[in-house]
Amino acid sequence: MAKRSGGPSNTEIDMTPMIDMTFQLITFFMFVMNFSEAEQDDRIQLPSSQLAKPADGVIEKPITLQLTNAGSVIYAGELVAVRDIGSYLEREKTLMIDENREPNSATIIVRADGRAKTGEVQDIIRICQEKGFERFALRAQYDDRR
């Protein structure tokens, strides 16, 4: 705070600490920001596992199917019945063939809720197999408790 002599006193606030703190906050938010395009839905409570280590590389163009507790599949943000995912996968398959990619090279990420029925996960896998997909990644939350 500085005062000038002569005339009415003009109070100046020292902005330096506030600017310092604000810049530090921005740096913090920039570091913790997640730019990944991984599909994650809050409605899914993934089961946890110590061995579900995050993948080293990025899975190229995966298809993510998220199974809710109620037995519906979240595909591209839409709620779909398990029996109806075949038509969506058929569309994915057509797109892949157009891009000269084989369906068996694509990975289907299955993000299933821990409370969902195992049979419904198996149904999803079976439908995917019928459409020519054979690589699956069963996603779980990484539990780092040792």
Partner 1 sequence: MARRSSSGLTDKVEINMTPMIDVVFQLMSFFMCTLKVVSPEGDFDIRMPIAAAAAAAPDDQQVPPVRVKLTAGPDGSLAAIAMNGTPVADFDELRKRIIGLVGADSGPNSLAEKTEVEFDADYALKYVNVVKAITAVSGKVENGQVVELIRKIKFTPPKKG
Task: Name the residues that contact partner 1, by CB under 8 A.
Answer: 4, 15, 18-19, 22-23, 25-26, 29-30, 32-34, 36, 38, 40, 46-55, 67, 104, 109, 112-119, 121-123, 125-126, 129-130, 134-142, 144, 146
The DSSP call for residue 115 is T
Cβ distance 128 to 82 under 8 Å? Answer: no
Q: Which is nearer to partner 1, 30 or 81 (CB)?
A: 30
Amino acid at 10: N
CB of 30 to partner 1, least distance (A): 6
CB of 75 to partner 1, least distance (A): 18
Q: Which is nearer to partner 1, 59 or 80 (CB)?
A: 59
Give the C-alpha separation, 76 to 59, whole Å: 17
CB of 49 to partner 1, least distance (A): 5
Tokens of 72: 């519906």
- Widest Cα–Cα separation across the chain: 88
CB of 133 to partner 1, least distance (A): 9
Tokens of 11: 């109070």
Give the C-alpha separation, 141 to 137, whole Å: 13
